[in-house]
Amino acid sequence: MSTPLELIKKRRTQAVHDIVEKGYLKTRIYICMSTGGLAAGAQEVYDVFKFAIEDGSLKDVYLSPKGCPGRCSLDPLVEVIMPGKIPIKYQKVTPDRARGIIERHLKKGEVIKDWQIQ
């Protein structure tokens, strides 16, 4: 039988493994893909990011759908989390804005304040 300390060490090891495997040490992009998000065009926005990853325009990026954060009037929502930086959430993202986020924020490090949730 394992001691409590051994169980904690085992869980910590598993958590670190999960963090690395899921890409939490690299840039992450989350897109609200709930009913409201999808109705507002989130699938098209998701596809822009997915294509940029697949064609190599974006490297070392983890893309994932996300559940509803309760801000449906601002959908589609995109959250960008870069290592060592404050997470940024963008509102009312269209496919054109998604391309802007790729070029300006993800490639050049510029937060686009006009599209950001304040």
Q: DSSP letters along 47-106, please?
A: HHHHHHHHTTSS-SEEEEEE---S-GGGPSPEEEE-TTS--EEE-S--HHHHHHIIIIII
| 80, part of any domain | yes
> In terms of residue numbers, what domain contains 55?
23-106
Total structural domains within the chain: 1
pLDDT in tens, 31-54: 999 888 899 999 999 999 999 999
pLDDT at 116: 95
pLDDT in tens, 57-77: 998 899 999 887 777 777 899
| 5, part of any domain | no
| 89, part of any domain | yes
pLDDT at 4: 85
| 13, part of any domain | no
In contact, 37 and 31? CB cutoff 8 Å: yes
pLDDT in tens, 79-107: 999 988 889 999 999 999 999 999 999 99
In contact, 35 and 88? CB cutoff 8 Å: no
| CATH number for 45 | 3.40.30.10
| 72, part of any domain | yes
- Between 22 and 46, the more confident residue is 46
Confidence of residue 115 (pLDDT cuts 50, 70, 90): very high
Residue 57, C-beta contacts closer than 8 angstroms, at least 6 positions apart? 102
pLDDT at 23: 61
| 118, part of any domain | no
| 1, part of any domain | no
One-letter amino acid of 12: R
| 29, part of any domain | yes
Distances 82 to 27, 36, 42, 62, 106 between C-alpha atoms, Å: 4, 26, 21, 10, 8
Q: Determine the Cα angle at 16 with ends 13 and 19, to 5°.
A: 150
